Amino acid sequence: MEDRTIVEPAMPAMGTGEATRVMNVPPAGGMGMGDATQHAITVTCPVCQTPNPPGEPYCQDCGLLFGSTPDEVEPLPDASQLPRLVEAASGREFALNPGVNSVGREAADILLVDPTVSRRHAQVTLQGSEAIVEDLGSTNGSYVAGRRLAPGEQATAYNGDTVRFGNIHLSLTLPGAASRPEGAVAPAAAAPAVEAAADRGPAVGSLVLADGTEFPLYEGANTLGRRSGNQIVIADAFMSGKHAEIRCAAEGSAELVDIGSTNGTFFAGERLAHHTPVALTDGTTFTMGKTPVTFRSTTAAIGNGPAPMGDFELPADTTVALSTADEGAQPAV
């Protein structure tokens, strides 16, 4: 088969390197503007093999300027055999490149413009024929085959799996790779943390706000944020829905972790890096959004005497919401 590459002589001024442009002028007598239809030769793009109507300067599919590429082009891999994510709702397709592909609402390889998708939401890493999804502390979560990932958690996604970021559903195609094996269904999502709080045992510490409000802390992870669903809800518009976590050990030691907040958690004058724990000691103060918070350890309090124990004997399932009026009022410009 003979490919005809055609460049119209009256191209718009390119101002670009002429050296790369090779002109294969068609036989004399053809391609006058008026009688182009009489010479209806389809032009097959040498790069993507798409047939184009005559007279088109650029390939309608891949955009190649006809004549601008060397004659010999090594065949490209079949697009239908490349790993990709497909959004059924819009028909958009995202090719997955080897290595890390970022997912988010801004400056992302997989750009999902939706209010339920965080700016930096997740990443999909392609290693060989394996795809690994990692949530980067998104507000509305990442799901692989229906299971929500914890912030920072990585999960393997199989060919044919549905991957969900916020409210956006995508289906994963990994040509040649295995589908999700029977029984490899990921364990059921953990029950919402608030319900779990009911039998968490005695408080091992507490957080005190400037106005004296005190929140008990329990062994394990205690979540802090502006939205309901956190164990400790603080109505500060400058806090993220899920802002930080305090991980407590039984003996009263505790770590503070920022779980990807927008406006940051400040500790000893420094903004904490996301997902990097720092140790809290009794009496240390840190700031989330505009709210300064002081950590109190129960064990230390016993040692020092005066702290009133009674304050910790609140019903264990108490989730104190100061206000829910401005739910969702994230200042955004």
Are 126 and 113 in contact by the 8 Å Cβ rule? The answer is no
- Residue 199: CB minimum distance to other proteins, A: 35
The total of other beta-carbon atoms located within 10 Å of residue 45's CB is: 22
Q: Would you state the torsion angle of the CA atoms of residues 233, 235, 239, 241, taken in this order, to the nearest 10 degrees?
A: 50
Nearest to 241 by CA among 233, 250, 253, 249: 233
Residue 214 or 327 having the CB closest to other proteins: 327
Q: Tell me the C-alpha distance between 244 and 232, whole Å.
A: 10
Output DSSP code: residue 149. P
What's the first-to-final CA gap in the chain, in angstroms? 57
Annotate 163-188 with three-state secondary structure. EEECCEEEEEECCCCCECCCCCCCCC
Query: 107 φ, ψ to 5°?
Result: 45, 55
Q: Tell me the C-alpha distance between 108 and 280, whole Å.
A: 35
The total of other beta-carbon atoms located within 10 Å of residue 79's CB is: 10
Q: Tell me the C-alpha distance between 61 and 55, whole Å.
A: 15
Q: What b/e readout covers 102-131, taking b as 16+ CB neighbours within 10 angstroms?
A: bbbbeebbbebeeebbbebbbbbebeeeeb
Are 320 and 197 in contact by the 8 Å Cβ rule? The answer is no
Nearest to 293 by CA among 222, 181, 230, 213: 213
Here the tokens at position 93 are 């397709």
Which residues contact other proteins by CB under 8 A? 12-17, 20-21, 47-48, 58-59, 61-65, 68-70, 73-74, 76, 79, 90-95, 97, 105-109, 111, 113, 238, 263-264, 266, 271, 287, 289-290, 325-333
Dihedral sign from CA coordinates of 157, 159, 162, 163: positive
